[in-house]
Structure 1
Amino acid sequence: MRHTTWKHAALGCLVVMGLAGCTTSPLGRSQLSLFSADKLDQMGQQSFETYQKKLPEVQGRTRQYVECVADAITEQVNSKDAPKKWNLAVFKSDQANAFALPGGYIGVYSGLLNVAENQDQLAAVLGHEVSHVLAHHANERVSTQSITQSGLSVVQAVAGQGGEQLATLLGAGAQYGVLLPFSRKQESEADLLGLDLMAKAGFNPQASIALWNNMKASGGQQPPEWMSTHPGNDHRIQDLQGRMASAQALYQQAKKAGRTPNCNRFRP
């Protein structure tokens, strides 16, 4: 009887933790957010400074080009809890990658410019990364990891003999049955939010399709989609195409409002 009581108490504790940190994403999806904005901003700053210490930065026309696109994107951010200032670094690296962190930190690897062939394709990447910040995906990811680890600890505490084996099995389930599909939802959400954001900034959203085709061509062999934290390229292209009509309408509105970025003039 006491063993069962402890199980119920432990599971109840986890449920309360989850409900206490329940929020909603910009697309209406329920999220788990257990950490304060200040804490996430601090984590973002620390991570950004770590990158700056480890990787050399690129200046000159390359930085001007990336900064031009980034500024156009972030100027369209009107969320009340979004960063008031965005900090940019272009890192010298062959990797085709970029990131945005809580607190308003954007990092772009110079190798990305070999795949993102023009300002519109680069805007698709930066719109996607900035959207991760606007949708509070970092808080969601850290919170999910925290509560999952707490759950595994509870299992080990209440299960007694065999608890370690059970926790191991649950850990595998968390990896392939809970956390990774959840992370794919984040990526898909950032794709759609980023598409709207780049269109509002005056970049042609159709370029996002060309970008992911380039990514597909340069990415080599991919793991099966169910084992990846990112949607497959074919899947994300299909989702982008499904939202393209509304994004094109936003793009036309931006052009009528005079938002026509000319960042290619800086491209080295």
Structure 2
Amino acid sequence: MPPQTPHTFDAGRLFVMALISRCSLGVKGALAALVLGACAQNPVTGRDQLILISPQQGVQMGAQAYQQAKQEKRVLPASDPYTQRVRAITERLIRANDLPKYQWEVNAFDDKTANAFALPGGKVGINTGLATVARTDAQIAAVVGHEIAHAVSRHGEERISQQLLVQTGVQLTGAALGVGQQGASLLEQAATLGVILPYSRTHESEADEMGLYYMARAGYDPREAVKLWENMAAQGSAGVPEFLSTHPSEGNRIQKLQSVMPKALDLYNKSSYKS
């Protein structure tokens, strides 16, 4: 078994249950049933998840967001060499892994930002600017595999669920304690630092690990993922403290990738997709 990502769901659950304890009996029962009934588990890492949104709702939201992205940015034509390149990489990742039977759609966007995304339902977008840091097919595969892992793990739906619960809990707790607007704001800030941000960092670490396995099974050298983050680190950043960031630092990401690299290399060496 690879090292598990931190089970920060436990912290979130304790936070929510603490909020429930301040509510009336009727509200307590409703919230407790909602929380316990929405528990799920990531099929790869085994991490507990809390998701209030159905898979069908997630797919619908993903399709709507993807349509909006295509309206706001120029989509490169299918004949464009970059489109062909990123589609071939993504399709190889999909074929090599046991991924959901989504209606996958992959497009390249004319955007200089070094970024990519994958939405619920298998809608993938890859910016042209990604090539400035992901300089090989394997490094692009690392990014796309990471983004696909977000979609497969339903991280977007999980984040929305967490935010809904935190907002509801803050309102209920503020009313129960009789705090004013300033007190409610402090409660919300504490919830963000204690629940929302750690969860997001957990999502990123989880997607890093899963994406590493995805690229390895597809015959892309997983060691290229480390080089990718070294490229990112070389570009520099604003230096936001990690505890206030939704993403782990490049150094911590590299350390985590190195810790699961033996399993990834084993998958890579066994892959029938290696050229």
Name the TM-score, length of structure 1 as normaliser.
0.89
Q: Residue 244 of structure 1 aligns to which amino acid in structure 2?
A: M
The Cα of 1:217 is off from its aligned counterpart by 1.2
For residues 91 and 151 of structure 2, the distance between their equivalents in structure 1, rounded to whole angstroms, comes to 15
Task: Indicate yes or no: 2:103 matched with 1:91.
Answer: no
Counterpart in the other structure of 2:95? 75
Counterpart in the other structure of 1:32? 50
Counterpart in the other structure of 1:63? 83
Mark the CA change 1:219 to 1:91 in structure 2 (over 3 Å): closer, same or farther.
farther
The Cα of 1:9 is off from its aligned counterpart by 4.2
Q: Residue 45 of structure 2 aligns to which amino acid in structure 1?
A: L
Q: Residue 90 of structure 1 aligns to which amino acid in structure 2?
A: A
The Cα of 1:119 is off from its aligned counterpart by 0.2
Counterpart in the other structure of 1:260? 274
Q: Residue 33 of structure 1 aligns to which amino acid in structure 2?
A: I
For residues 23 and 36 of structure 2, the distance between their equivalents in structure 1, rounded to whole angstroms, comes to 20
The Cα of 1:143 is off from its aligned counterpart by 0.7
For residues 165 and 227 of structure 1, the distance between their equivalents in structure 2, rounded to whole angstroms, comes to 21
Q: Mean Cα displacement is larger for which, 8-17 or 244-253?
A: 8-17
For residues 5 and 227 of structure 1, the distance between their equivalents in structure 2, rounded to whole angstroms, comes to 28
- The question of whether the paired residues in 1 share the 8 Å contact of 2:268 and 2:274 is answered with no
Counterpart in the other structure of 1:54? 72
- 1:77-116 deviation per Cα after TM superposition (whole angstroms, max 9, x unaligned): 314xx24331011111110000000011001111001110
For residues 84 and 143 of structure 1, the distance between their equivalents in structure 2, rounded to whole angstroms, comes to 22
- The question of whether the paired residues in 2 share the 8 Å contact of 1:10 and 1:154 is answered with no
For residues 269 and 153 of structure 2, the distance between their equivalents in structure 1, rounded to whole angstroms, comes to 25
- 1:235-263 deviation per Cα after TM superposition (whole angstroms, max 9, x unaligned): 01000001111101100110xx2x136xx
The Cα of 1:7 is off from its aligned counterpart by 4.0
SS at match of 1:78: coil
- The question of whether the paired residues in 2 share the 8 Å contact of 1:23 and 1:33 is answered with yes
- The question of whether the paired residues in 2 share the 8 Å contact of 1:14 and 1:151 is answered with no
Q: Mean Cα displacement is larger for which, 220-229 or 149-158?
A: 149-158
The Cα of 1:134 is off from its aligned counterpart by 1.3
Match of 2:254 among 209, 214, 237: 237
Structure 1: segments with no counterpart, 5+ residues: 262-268
1:91-110 → structure 2 map (5 Å cutoff): 91-110=109-128
SS at match of 1:75: helix
1:1-268 → structure 2 map (5 Å cutoff): 6-25=23-42, 26-59=44-77, 60-79=80-99, 82-160=100-178, 162-254=179-271, 257=272, 259-260=273-274
Percent identity among equivalent residues?
37
For residues 188 and 101 of structure 2, the distance between their equivalents in structure 1, rounded to whole angstroms, comes to 35
Mark the CA change 1:212 to 1:5 in structure 2 (over 3 Å): closer, same or farther.
closer
For residues 22 and 98 of structure 2, the distance between their equivalents in structure 1, rounded to whole angstroms, comes to 48
Counterpart in the other structure of 2:16? none
For residues 213 and 75 of structure 1, the distance between their equivalents in structure 2, rounded to whole angstroms, comes to 28
- The question of whether the paired residues in 2 share the 8 Å contact of 1:195 and 1:205 is answered with yes
For residues 6 and 75 of structure 1, the distance between their equivalents in structure 2, rounded to whole angstroms, comes to 49
Q: CA RMSD in A?
A: 1.7
Counterpart in the other structure of 1:266? none
- The question of whether the paired residues in 2 share the 8 Å contact of 1:100 and 1:107 is answered with yes
SS at match of 2:171: helix
